[in-house]
Amino acid sequence: MLDQVLAPALIVIVGVLGFLLRGFFGSYVGEKGKNLATKQDIEQITAQVESVKASIQTLSTLRTDYEQQRREWLLSFYDSAVEMLYEKLSASFGDMPYDDGRTLFEFQQSFSALVVTLLKQYQRIVVYFEHGSALRQSAEAIVISGVQAQSVLKKRFGDVKMALADEYQAVLSGDDARFREAAGRSDQVVRAYLADMNPVAQVFREQLQAYLTNLNIFLGGDGS
């Protein structure tokens, strides 16, 4: 995208310089014939050349900043996607502590926050890459999977929290029969959660691999 702006701008600058130089020397020859250019004439030409050089340097700096920003957002998106896959979609509720549901609540909140982060980062990718870009397409597929995962969370996670809370209370009661019943119930709701979430997680994993492949191509190529 930036190339489409920088290239015409550079052509215009060089064209203006050529026009100025042609105009100057044409006028100079007409008025002074074969006389040597005066010090003032030389200073004027030098000033024009330095102005063009400064403009070219500015454009070069803009391009460098633009390329750096593109890389930073692509890598930030990748980091967030990796966090989603390995910390959220692969979470084991059995490893979470019994703490009156605080850890489960924090998990739910951070899950939703991470989906929002992915959406925001994807919007930056949309700014920097055209619709047909392979990187943009694979990033979009990741975001879609992330939103689907959030839908599963909203559908199933309430039951998971309640079942695990009941199991926790059963442990505290010391009633073995109550604990076995609560544990069976929690296993059932967790399996239902995973039955919905695992297929989404698998698609997410595949799209993340595609994104990583395209990212490596981008970083190892010419940045187009």
Question: 118 with 80: CB under 8 angstroms?
Answer: yes
| Distance of alpha carbon 204 from alpha carbon 69, whole angstroms | 25
- Name the strand (E) or helix (H) holding 67: helix 39-83
Question: 197 with 205: CB under 8 angstroms?
Answer: no
Structure tokens at 181: 């019943």
| Distance of alpha carbon 89 from alpha carbon 149, whole angstroms | 8
More confident residue, 211 or 5: 211
Residue-wise pLDDT for 55-84, tens only, equals 555 555 555 677 888 999 999 999 999 999
Q: Which residues are CB-contacts of 222 (< 8 A; sequence separation ≥ 6)? A: none
Q: Which residue has the tokens 């490893």?
A: 95
Structure tokens at 57: 């340097």
Residue 34 has pLDDT above 60, yes or no: no
Residue 170 CB coordination number (10 Å):
20
Q: Positive or negative, the Cα torsion across 29, 33, 34, 39?
A: negative
Highest mean pLDDT among 57-71, 122-136, 163-177, 199-213: 199-213
